[in-house]
Amino acid sequence: MDNKLERSADERLKGYAKDWKIFIDTCSLLSDNMEALLNHLLPYLKQYDNKLIVPYRCIQELEKFIPDGNNISRGEKAKITRDNVINLYKSGVVDIRGEQSDNFADNVFLTVFTKFRLKYNLLLITQDNNLAKDILNINNSKSVKAYPVQALRVNKYGFLSPFRWEEYEGSGKYSKENKGKFKICSQLTDVSVEVVPVQKIPCENDYVKTNRGSICLKEKIAAGGEGTIYATNTPYVAKIYKAEKITERKQRKLELMLTKKVDCTGICYPVDIIYNKYDEFVGFLMPPAKGKELQKAIFIPPLLKKTFPTWKKRDLVELAVTILNKIKFLNDMNIIMGDINPLNILVVSSKEVFFVDTDSYQIEDFPCPVGTVNYTAPEIQGRKFTDFLRTIGNENFAIATLLFMLMLPGKPPYSQQGGANPSENIKKMDFSYPFGDNSNKKTPDGPWRFMWSHLTYRLKKAFYNTFTKDGEYAQEHCRLSADKWLVLFNEYLNLLDTGKFGEQDKMSEDLFPTRFKKNPNITYITCKICSKEAEEHLSQNGICKSCLNEGERYKCKRCGKELIFTNYQKYIKQTKKFDFCPECFAWGNDAYTTVRCSDCTASFIITNNEYSYYMSKGLQLPRRCRRCREMKKNRW
């Protein structure tokens, strides 16, 4: 820092010490350059009888770090800092303010600054980009008498600097102009997949290095098999790999990824590489994601109804269009997503989605090392994903599968074979949804058949020909691209939004239709019982097929088994309602016992029904056969 700059930085610091109330945040207290700042600032504070204000909550935050067994150096640093602040308090240059009950230091600053800017000039010293933005935002709320508020960070010279947002919002070192595409490669990279040992995996509140300078890891957002995602003091989030996941191949691939600008809202593509304090590669920086995983928001029908209760089919189709546009963007740059699956796509609305886990994408000769069975094309089933490069044909199979599972929420195209191995089903390509007269007669029952029948003709044709063994688009090199699917889905969306599709059959607009799509060559009636539309030729006397098989439910008088007196029996056959189930009816006519007639000595049978009758009347069982009883009666 040259003398002139240093003098003006010092002058500004003096100005703040003279006229401003100066607050400081935990992350600045912990910053490496805090000591230098205090050396510059304290003499002025004493000169103007001012104090540096530390919220009580920041002391608590420091104390929270102290007994940290996992991070001894941070714990020690927090302890030294805490003791330092207490000493400065005792010597009268620091004021500790606030209550034990203050929630978050960040909230404390916002509340205090909003309130006291009417009385004082307020300055917050923080290293936290987001907090600084929030504080500076207070200036935007109009108040006639308020003073402006200021937020500055401690710089490496021990003075205060404004935040440089443009560092993160504009172009970084890597992604400057390169708008071109990546190369298409056929030969796998030979960069090593050996684990590279590092001296330290950074964690919460650690400072890490990027090509744009030092940043601070904030709270943990998510943790997965590969590593942990942290918020940072920038608009981006950081993915820090687990120690056993750090390889040279990962680093080289990320470096390659950063040579092109991939600027598409919703694709959480790396923007910078992260190194620990020993300059070892440990992760990368990317835009944050929002929304729920496709798996949870869409692929389980009850959760879909709960997450998006007002959705119609058009919203699902619009979601497919939104997703397809992003896939097309990537494929157009020769990026193969590879591991397309419902956990890597997050949904906010039908118009807003986020693609995550982008570091697994296949870029040039770096493969996508992961995948799932359902989305893997038949020709590469069972292969090890780290050992080969996927083709756009492989990718197009995954795209088709994703689209099918969006239209029939969560239902994979080859799921009908039940217990069989899903990988075998895909290799056989025995697709079970009918198209025209073609069907393997194994279509899954119920709502799936209905949903399939309500798709557009062109979409059914495309799916059928992609998933059926001898279909027109079944082979790797003939499959439809994201581009081609976009045409079909935009057409579908248009048919739904203009109401043209609904004119043929209103139920086609529903997410979960309850019958097949209406056929224009068939007459429909309104069922007298359920009031639903039904095919006339399958109905009788105005009653639909399913109502004919339904009816009054009651219990067998003997065994209690449930019986149905169907509407068919009641209204069409007009039979009477039986008291007993068929088994109990047959049992009634079986023999209870055989008796020898006391007159003629012939054997005769007493049935179960007769036995029950005599018992219920309190009568003795007859001793004579029917014939002798008749004769005896006539004799009188």
Residue closer to Zn ion by CB (options 236, 604) is: 604
Q: Which stretch binds Zn ion (CB under 5 A): 254-262, 267-275, 506-514, 537-545?
A: 537-545
Residue type, 114: T
| Main-chain dihedrals φ then ψ at residue 121, nearest 5 degrees | -80, 125
Q: Which stretch binds Zn ion (CB under 5 A): 162-170, 256-264, 292-300, 549-557?
A: 549-557
Q: Which stretch binds Zn ion (CB under 5 A): 285-293, 427-435, 443-451, 618-626?
A: 618-626
Q: Which stretch binds Zn ion (CB under 5 A): 351-359, 382-390, 447-455, 557-565?
A: 557-565
CA end-to-end span of the chain, whole Å? 139
Closest separation between CB of residue 572 and Zn ion, Å?
13
The Cα 40–Cα 152 span in angstroms is 15
Closest separation between CB of residue 596 and Zn ion, Å?
9
| 419-478 positions binding Zn ion, by CB under 5 A | none
Residue closer to Zn ion by CB (options 402, 547) is: 547
Residue closer to Zn ion by CB (options 307, 546) is: 546
According to CB under 5 A, which one of 240, 337, 403, 625 is a site residue for Zn ion?
625
| 24-83 positions binding Zn ion, by CB under 5 A | none
Closest separation between CB of residue 543 and Zn ion, Å?
6
- Would you call 354 helix, strand, or coil by DSSP? strand
Structural element, H or E, at residue 592 = strand 591-596
According to CB under 5 A, which one of 36, 380, 529, 595 is a site residue for Zn ion?
529
According to CB under 5 A, which one of 242, 312, 427, 558 is a site residue for Zn ion?
558
| 327-386 positions binding Zn ion, by CB under 5 A | none
For the chain, give me the number of helices (H) and strands (E)?
Answer: 23, 21
According to CB under 5 A, which one of 530, 564, 615, 631 is a site residue for Zn ion?
530
Closest separation between CB of residue 602 and Zn ion, Å?
5
Check: CB of residue 572 under 8 Å from CB of residue 541.
yes
Q: Rule CB under 5 A: say whether 548 interacts with Zn ion.
A: no
Other Cβ atoms closer than 10 A to 151 = 27
| Main-chain dihedrals φ then ψ at residue 336, nearest 5 degrees | -100, 120
Structural element, H or E, at residue 553 = strand 551-555
CA dihedral 504, 508, 514, 519 (to 10 degrees): 30
Residue closer to Zn ion by CB (options 488, 625) is: 625
Residue closer to Zn ion by CB (options 203, 556) is: 556
User: Torsion-angle region of residue 477: left (phi > 0), alpha (psi -120 to 50) or beta?
Assistant: alpha
The Cα 110–Cα 90 span in angstroms is 27
Question: Is residue 484 packed enough to be buried (19+ CB in 10 Å), middle (13-18) or exposed (0-12)?
Answer: middle
Closest separation between CB of residue 326 and Zn ion, Å?
44
Which of 343, 247, 565, 316 has its CA nearest to residue 459?
316
Residue closer to Zn ion by CB (options 46, 558) is: 558
Residue closer to Zn ion by CB (options 529, 606) is: 529
What b/e string do you get for 226-235 counting C-beta neighbours within 10 Å, with b at 16 or more? bbbbbbbbbe
Q: Which stretch binds Zn ion (CB under 5 A): 33-41, 450-458, 512-520, 521-529?
A: 521-529
According to CB under 5 A, which one of 544, 563, 567, 568 is a site residue for Zn ion?
544
* Adjacent-strand bridge partners of 123: 22, 150
Q: Which stretch binds Zn ion (CB under 5 A): 120-128, 153-161, 270-278, 581-589?
A: 581-589
Closest separation between CB of residue 537 and Zn ion, Å?
15
Q: Please state, in angstroms and as integers, the Cα–Cα distance from residue 409 to each residue in 295, 378, 412, following that order.
A: 9, 22, 9
Closest separation between CB of residue 593 and Zn ion, Å?
16
Give the 3-state DSSP-derived string for 26-88, with helices as H, strands as E and coil as C.
Answer: HHHHCCCCHHHHHHHHHHHHHHCCCCEEEEHHHHHHHHHHCCCCCCHHHHHHHHHHHHHHHHH
Other Cβ atoms closer than 10 A to 441 = 6
According to CB under 5 A, which one of 124, 256, 527, 563 is a site residue for Zn ion?
527
Closest separation between CB of residue 568 and Zn ion, Å?
12
Residue tagged 């080289």 (tokens): 252
Residue closer to Zn ion by CB (options 224, 560) is: 560
The Cα 139–Cα 110 span in angstroms is 12
Number of residues that bind Zn ion (CB under 5 A): 15
Spatial CB neighbours of 63, under 8 Å, sequence gap ≥ 6: 78, 82
| Tokens linked to 245 | 């996941």
Q: Rule CB under 5 A: say whether 581 interacts with Zn ion.
A: yes
Q: Rule CB under 5 A: say whether 545 interacts with Zn ion.
A: no
Residue closer to Zn ion by CB (options 421, 598) is: 598
Residue closer to Zn ion by CB (options 200, 558) is: 558
* Contact track, Zn ion, 473-512, x by CB under 5 A: ----------------------------------------
Closest separation between CB of residue 606 and Zn ion, Å?
13
| Main-chain dihedrals φ then ψ at residue 526, nearest 5 degrees | -100, 120
Which of 503, 539, 506 has its CA nearest to residue 523?
539
The Cα 310–Cα 511 span in angstroms is 10
Closest separation between CB of residue 629 and Zn ion, Å?
8
According to CB under 5 A, which one of 5, 223, 559, 631 is a site residue for Zn ion?
559
Closest separation between CB of residue 524 and Zn ion, Å?
12
Closest separation between CB of residue 434 and Zn ion, Å?
25
For the four alpha carbons of 402, 408, 409 and 413, in that order, the dihedral sign comes to negative
In the 8-state DSSP scheme, what is residue 260? Answer: S
According to CB under 5 A, which one of 600, 615, 621, 631 is a site residue for Zn ion?
600
| 130-189 positions binding Zn ion, by CB under 5 A | none
Residue closer to Zn ion by CB (options 486, 525) is: 525
For Zn ion, the binding residues (CB under 5 A) are 527, 529-530, 544, 547, 556, 558-559, 581, 584, 597, 599-600, 625, 628
